[in-house]
Structures are given as structure tokens and as C-alpha cells.
Structure 1
């Protein structure tokens, strides 16, 4: 089956083994086989998509098919927010759509959703209830239901959703795909029908973290036309031994299969070198309760004005009750809730001091459609247990697949980081995703292992440098990097073909990395970015037999980095088997 991951498509286009026209034919054949409804609200014709392709710029996403949730404007297509009576046809596309199409991406259509982005279930739409790609009886998750299913079914390479309470993450879990919820304001929301405008994020569904990052880099960026847009802030790489928080009290609502899969995810992250840290989830849980049991529901009332009050028959009964319930909150209530949220954010700082990231179930369980229809509010609330607090507390999050229950239904976990830690968080999420045995993309059967690992692209005008020994964080010469405002962007390993030696007679003690094509490689390195002047002055400090050359990393990328002259290792101790300088130093300390 043709994989629609971006890397595979781009490789096929570059080598001539695939054409965008053939890919679009496959996309429309898959949609026809599954049926247009309920996934799609507005589907462009095959001819319209081919016409787009003919006019598309040959940018970084040229020929890549995508979908957008139907609360995101596309010029000339109706925006319904899953409410036909509310529909309007914009003359201009949302900023995020403009940027993606300017990069050459091909829009296939607009996807179904819980009406007015109110729900985590995917059942609150007059266009039909979406279902998980793995079960016609179980919910797809929402509110970005159609977008999650479209990616999970292999109908598009990626899809845009929105996320206020978890709508960009829960459908990812229930369809075995990635859901990237960026930091608030990182992606413009101009041209998006708001749910809670102060909290809303445009999210990305994709088959891999690498694809989601590629989309985010193009879709994101400051937008002067969006009052909530924020300029990106650089974030350091996560430490090599990342501390990940796990709540002391986790609720799975009786779903023991989900609990087992979560514990397996904890074990996989530990096997990758992470350290599990028990944290108090109370401040996060209490913040989550403010979203629907607090005055933020009044923001939903403000988002669609008087429409729900003047057209009650046009609004889904559950959505109507939530939106009109916003009238019960006063300005005094709003201020009190802001004060309470500030207190909870401050309380959470004590937990963040213990951890670098937070690992959670994306959703504690999954429900059948009939269960949700019978008990729509309570079960929806359960699904938001581990998602509702994230935007309120200004955090970043990425949902990834984490295996399958015995009944064949998927389960997912989410890594949560601080604001603007989207890229470092993504690298960790990618490693955890790839540690899942036999990981597949959605229900397509395409293997994750055939796709390239995620990587962070270099910042414009800066040089990347890999350090392997005395310049690692916490080592004696690390200050030379700090003095030059170097920013750590990754902790990773070398490709095969490298050997590491403990050099004799160096002060402070230093290793020598040699590319000999026979070494096992996999040597731990930290990668930093410096401006050219800082890089030049740093290189001037490097003493022989060390030098700066080009080092190939585990993901195949190349950066500048420390190497050693071959003559210096003839009488040095080969420490390659330990995997890095830190491990060697620790072994020396343990034996002394």
C-alpha cells in the first residue's frame, strides 16, 4: 500500500518512481472506497485537486495532499463548523492554509468535526459521527474527528485540526497517528472559527513526528494579523537523561488494558535512558476542571455571538447547552478563575522542578458510540482528564501511538512540555514512538521504521557543532560554549563507523572521536548552535590532536564536530563500547 508520509512521497517524486498525479488518484480512490461521509464535509473534486497541482509552487510541500478541519477558512469553500445554518464562504483563506498552499501542498477538502469544536468525541455533527479507523462501533475522538480519521485511513499525508481542550490529541490516540499541539500562538488562528479564542491552537495530525514538524515549520510563525500570535522563543534541547513525570494517581476508569499499555510506555521511555519521576497531578487536574466548570465556557458563548440563542434548532443539543451555559458566568467569576489558574500554575512549578517533561495517557479509555450518545457529557469529560489543562497552563504537547489493546483498539500517550519546547519535545516523542515494536501509521499498514527519524532544522545564519567530551554539559570546558551563547538543540548519537578513545596526557581529560568506518558508533554527542563569530572563536581554542571536522549523526544529518587525529589514538584506550564520555567517566568514578 502506498504510504503517504511526506518523506516517502518526496523521495518518490525526486526519483521519478511516483508522480503527484498518481498520488492524487490513490487519494481519491481511497476516499471513494471508504465513502465521503462522515469524514468529509466539503470534498474537492479530483479535477479541482489536479488543477491545484498544476498551479502549485514547487515549494517544500509540493504535491503533498492535506485536509483542514471545517472551522478553518479556505477561500471559496464554505466554512460550516459542522453547522449548516452557520455556514459562510470566505474570500480569503486562514493564514495557516495560505502558508501551506504557498509551500505547494494540495488541499483535498474540509473535514468533519464536533460542532463548533465543542467535544472530544466526534459524535456531535449533523454530517454524521466519525468512527475510529479500527472499529465502526467506537468513537474517532474529537472535535477534530474527520482530520484524525483522514490521516489514520491514509487519505491524506497530514491534516489540520484545532485544539482547545484536547481536540488535536484525542483523535490521534483513537486513530493511531501523531497529534502535535503547538504552543499557543505559535501557529496563527486568523481565519479560524474560535471555540475559546484565548486558548485555541491549530494542531497537526500526521503519520510521523517528522512530518508533523515539517508542517509546523511552514505553518507556524508570527502573524501581525492575529492578536494572539506570539514570536517563537528558542528552547534548549532536553537533557540526555530526561526526567519524565508520571502522576502518582492515574485514573483509567476501569480500562485495565489502557493502564497496561501506559505502563509499557513508561518502561520504553526508561529503556531509552529516561528517569521516571512521580509527581503530584493535583494542580494540573484542578486547572483542567476550570475549562468547563468555570467561566471559560463564556468564551464559547462569545465566540459564536448570538447564533446559538437565535438559532437554537440549528445547534446540537449538547453543544447548545454548553455554549448557552456561558451566560451563567459573570465578569467577577472570570477574574476569580484567572486568579485561581495563576495559583495552580504556580503550584505546578514545584512539580516542573522535578521533571523535564510530563508523560500521560492521551485519553484514559475509549468508548463506543452508543455509550457516548447515552451519556454525552460525563464520558466526554472523562476523555479530557489528561488534556484539558494543557492550553490553560500554556504548555506544548505531542500525542503519539503507544500500542493496541487485546481487542484491537489503539492506545496513545502524550508528552507535555513547557511553552515553546515543541521541537525538543518532538525529538523525544519521535524516539518513544520508534521504540514501539512494529509501529504502523494509522490503519494503513505502512511501517514507521521505513521513515526517517525527526530532526530539528538549523536556525538561519547559525552553525551546528557536536561536542563529545569535555565540552558536554556539566564537564570542565562547557563554559566555553556558554560564553558564546551556544544553544543546545539536540542530544543524540553518531552514526556507525566511529570509535571513541580516552586520550592520554590531556588536561582536563578528553576523548578522541575517530571516524574509522569500522567502529560501532552510537557515541553520545550534544549538538549546539552558535553564530559564525562564536563558532570561529571556539574553533581557535581547540588544541591538537583534536580538530573540528564533519560528523555524521544517527539520523544521517551532518554537523561540524570534534574529531581526533589518528596518530593520537595508537596508545589510547578504546571506550567505544561504553557509548560515550559520560559513561566512561562514570565507570572510572565507580571503580576508584
Structure 2
């Protein structure tokens, strides 16, 4: 029997043991959709017969493989993203068209073996954060049908949280890939702008739009993101760049000071935010209060000035005379953008540039942010009675992210007493997606809040790890005087080095105190027959140019070689020539340089 919420690893394990087939899974998915009381989740679906045919085709072709890592995995797509054979409506029936090809991201996922189930509901033209602005109905929070599901990617989030699909695609301009995750106990990955190409996506704000991923676990969402990402010449805003590393231990994370924490009276949400801060500190982070003011001012530009005109640009011809065919709030927002001039936009661009100088300065004080994803939530009737003001509150901590070119991951962070979930977001500068996902996964596991609607589900241990290098940075393992707080650590921090994580070698190393060195240094020797405790070390990421200069200064008898780590990986790091340790004091049994210094100081 399948669990209430299924993951990629779980489905592939069942496929491998023969207890499940894609065809049987399709039947289960169809039964779950039919049994659901929330009929506003889906706008259109692949026909039952076509789904079964697709499942049979997968079974005939093979099984999960490196070429098809999503083989037999069911997914949903927000209905502002093209899928060949299904109408794209953007939740506006008179706008609907039938695309001849998949959007770039959908094509990549299908090529990886994923099974498209259908198109999901959204706030019309992706304009809103609440999920009630659609003629196809308002999807509800899976925990209480009186409450909003969050938008604009409402149906995409609910389809995953309810256990109807394994993952889904959404879009995010102001928070639409994060707020619905928060309201449904999910992971929501909002990648760096342009990392996932938007070819085949109906624009909301073309220069800010991001394709996003919802899943029950960070591991699943990140795997999908990696498969879907990559350049596409058909998207003028698509881009690629080397990934930016983040430290795993000793990382500094920004938190809202008490005076700037706004939860609109939701005291339980405020408490859950505080608890999330403590959990991230427990994972090795250092909390840093920061001034949210310039970020909040940047966020306000998205809807209150010239930037909103970008929502009008792709729909100028369509909306003329269409007020009766559109959601009233969406029509007012988009048509109202016509009052702004090019001069207004340029003035706001100047304001944003000035704010970016302030926010760039703030980023020098921390590596990432931990913010509430949304300060509170509302009932559907409350939102419909006050659709603009309450919607704007939902984006208090999300609207700035794309304007200031950040990536983000929304992470479940607990439940209120009434059973409604709360979420936080980890936010970092552009192209820190790989590293941010690892920290998000660890934060998620630390809370044990279940998966989607299943609060009792266990989040399995993950093999996710922060990459040890990128195209323009190289990681080096240090074991002695270059460790954090040691005399030569400045040789790493000075040229822009960052701590990636702590680690330990395998047992096959011997460790010595080198004589006649200033400052005192150790020597690490590879000894295949050794049975030691392993030697503690730190992995530091250096810019490639700085790495070359650093290595050139290393004095004999030290050098750089490959170290074997106890987690099965390798890293370039300090090794010593064997002649230099003849007669030297061996300290292998202490397991590291810090332990040696502490032991020597105690004598």
C-alpha cells in the first residue's frame, strides 16, 4: 500500500522490488484525485486512457536509470506553463490556447521519465498570493478547507500536499512558489532568476518570473530543479553561472530583530519563527540581527509603482474590453498599470538601484537569511472580503527576493494549535541554489513536521551534501594552522575563502607535530595500513585564482594531495613528505590539531 505522501526514492524502491508499476501508480493517482473533496485543484488533466498508455510505454522502455532519473514519477504543472496537448488558460478561459510543444522545463522533465498528470489552478495570470482569484474555484489548505491554500501556484501546491502527485511546477514573481508551500507543509524551491528557463510560460513580470518546484522533501525538489535547469536561447532572461558556495558550519544567518517582526497578531507564527531560529543555530549557524528596512522598501516597489507595468506588457491587447471575463481584482491590478509612465518606471529603477547598494552592504554581514515565508494566513471568506490588503500582507517577506536577485527555499516550520502549518524561508544571493538546498534539507529534518498532509511521515536521512567545488572556486582541506581561529586562517579568509564544512579523514592517516616550524604546524601522512581515528579537518572554498596563489606559497615539506574522507568523498588538502616526520611526535590518537593544542596546554 502506498503511503499518503510518496517521494521519488520511495516510488523507485517499490518499482525496483516489483511491488509497484507505473500503471498501478497511475490507477492510484486517478483514484486519489477522484476521491478528493477539493475540486478546484485541477483545471485540466491528461485523459485516463492517455495516462495509462504513457505508463505502459515507460514499462516497455525499461526502468529508472541515469538517463531517466524521474522514470514513473507523477507530476503536475501550473496552468500558465505550456504542456503539449492541454490548453494553457492562465485561469482565464477566454485567454486559453492549445500549445504545440511543451515549455522547456516540462520537456526536460518528461524526457527524464516523469509522468505528466495535468494542469493545476492558479490565481489568474499569476497575479496574487492567496489562491482565490480564479473562475475555476479556490483550492484550499489541505489542513482546513476554510483557509486559503496560498497562491498564485495554489493547485500545484495542493496536488502535492494532498498526495496526488510527487512534485509539481509553479511560478514565482512575488512569492508564488513559496507562500503555497508554507500553507501546505511543503518544500518550495524558488531558484535563481533564469536558472530554469521560462520559454513556454505565460509572463506575469517577464524580467522577474521564475519557474519553481513543490515537493514533500528538499531532496525531491532539488533533484527536479537540477533536471529542469539550464540555458535556453528562446528565453532572453535565461542564464547560467557557477554555483556560489555557502558554509555548512559557522554560517551567519540574518534574522529579523524583535522590533521588525510583523505577524499581524498571529502570535503562534511569531513563536514558530523563534523556534526555527533556534533550530538553525543548533545546526551550526550564528544568528545575526539585521535591518530589514531596505529590503522591505524594495519589496513595496513591486506593486506600488512603475514595476507593475510589466504585468500589463504581455496582456495589453488581450485585456482591452475584457473586464467581465477576468477576475475583478486581477483586472484592476493589471489594467491599473496603464497609469504609470516610462518616467515612473525609470524613477523606480533608480530607487531600486539605491536600495540595492544598501542591501549589498547588508549581505557582507551574513551568508543567508531566515525569514517567515508569510507572516500569517487567512480564511477564504476573509480574503475575498479584503482581497488587496490581506494579499499584500502575505508577501511582506517574499516580494523583495526576485527584485534583489536572490534564490530561496521555503521550509515547513511547525503547526499552530489549530492545525494550520507555518513555514520559513532560507534566502541567499543568486546562484547559491545548490548549497541553500542542503541547508534547507537539514532544517526540514530537524523539525520533524511530516510531509504535506501527513504530519506523522518520517523524513528519511538524505545523501545531500554541499558540492566541494564549482567552476570558479576550489575547495581545500586544512588540518592545522589554517583552521578557523588558528594563526594562518587569514590566508584563507583574506582572498575571499569561505568555510564549507567540517569533516574527517578515513582511518588510513598518521598525524605528527612537525619540528622547527613557526607557527607550529602538523604533518599528515597517508598510511594505507593505519587504523587510526581519522583526522579532523575543515573544507574551505577559495576563488580559483586565490587557490593557485595559496598553493604556490606552501613551504616544503608540505604539499597538496588528495585526501580520502570518511564520508566516501575526496578533497584536495595538506599532505606531508614522509622524510619530515622521522623522529617527530606522533599525535594520531588525538584525532586532530585542536585536540593536540588543548592537550599540550593542559600539561
TM-score range with shorter-chain normalisation? 0.7 to 0.9
Match of 1:206 among 190, 196, 215: 215
Between the aligned partners of 1:545 and 1:235, the Cα distance in structure 2 is 27
Shift, 1:359, TM fit: 1.1
Q: Secondary structure in 2 aligned to 1:288?
A: helix
Q: What is residue 587 of structure 2 aligned with on the other side?
A: 572
**Equivalent residues in 2 for 1:79-478, closer than 5 Å:** 79-238=88-247, 240-248=249-257, 249-436=260-447, 438-445=448-455, 447-456=457-466, 467-470=477-480
In the aligned structure 1, how far is the partner of 2:40 from the partner of 2:530? 54
CA positional deviation for 1:22: 2.8
- Contact conserved, 1:7 with 1:451, CA < 8 A, in 2? no
> SS in structure 1 opposite 2:144?
coil
Q: Distance in 2 between matches of 1:463 and 1:344?
A: 29
Greater displacement, 315-324 / 519-528: 519-528
RMSD (Å), alpha carbons: 3.7
**Aligned counterparts of 1:520 and 1:25: Cα–Cα separation in 2:** 52
Contact 2:514 2:585 survives alignment (8 Å): no
Cα distance change, pair 353–13 in 1 and its aligned pair in 2 (3 A): same
2:565 maps to: 551
Q: Secondary structure at the match of 2:378?
A: coil
Runs of 5+ unmatched residues, structure 1: none
After superposition, the Cα gap between the structure-2 partners of 1:286 and 1:377, relative to the gap in structure 1 and judged at 3 Å, is same
2: CA distance, partners of 1:84 / 1:469: 63
Equivalents in 1 of 2:101, 2:534: separation in Å?
Answer: 52
Q: Distance in 1 between matches of 2:601 and 2:267?
A: 41
SS of corresponding position for 1:310: coil
CA contact (8 A) 2:243 2:434 kept: no
Distance 1:160 1:288 in 2: 24
SS at match of 1:450: coil
1:52 Cα deviation after fit: 2.3
Query: Any conservation in 2 of the 1:8–1:451 contact (CA below 8 Å)?
Result: no
**1:510 CA drift (Å):** 2.9
Match of 1:5 among 1, 4, 7: 7
The DSSP-based 3-state class of the residue aligned with 2:253 is: strand
The alignment covers a number of residue pairs equal to 579
Shift of 1:128: 0.9
Task: For residues 154-175 of structure 1, give each alpha carbon's deviation from its aligned partner in whole angstroms, at most 9, with x where no partner exists.
Answer: 2111110000000000000001
- Give the 3 Å change call, closer, same or farther, for CA 107–460 of structure 1 in structure 2: farther
Residues 399, 498 of structure 1: alpha-carbon distance in 2 compared, 3 angstrom cutoff? farther
**What are the residue-to-residue correspondences of 1:5-44 with 2, within 5 Å?**
5-35=7-37, 37-44=39-46
Q: Give, in angstroms, the shift of residue 178 of structure 1.
A: 0.5
Contact 1:189 1:201 (8 Å CA) reproduced: yes
Farther off after superposition, 541-550 or 354-363: 541-550
**Separation of aligned partners in 2, 1:266 and 1:516:** 45
The answer to whether the Cα contact below 8 Å between 1:514 and 1:563 also exists between their aligned partners in 2 is: no
SS at the partner of 2:401? helix
Tell me by how many angstroms 1:26 deviates: 2.4
Q: Is the 8 A contact 1:245 1:355 kept in 2?
A: yes
Cα separation, partners in 2 of 1:546 and 1:192, compared to 1, 3 Å: closer
**Partners of 1:371 and 1:520 in 2: how far apart?**
61
Distance in 1 between the 2:141 and 2:49 partners?
Answer: 29
Question: In structure 2, do the counterparts of structure 1 residues 511 and 217 end up closer, same or farther at CA, with 3 Å as the change threshold?
Answer: farther
Contact 1:39–1:150, Cα closer than 8 Å, also in 2:
yes
**Bigger mean CA deviation after superposition, 419-428 or 303-312:** 303-312
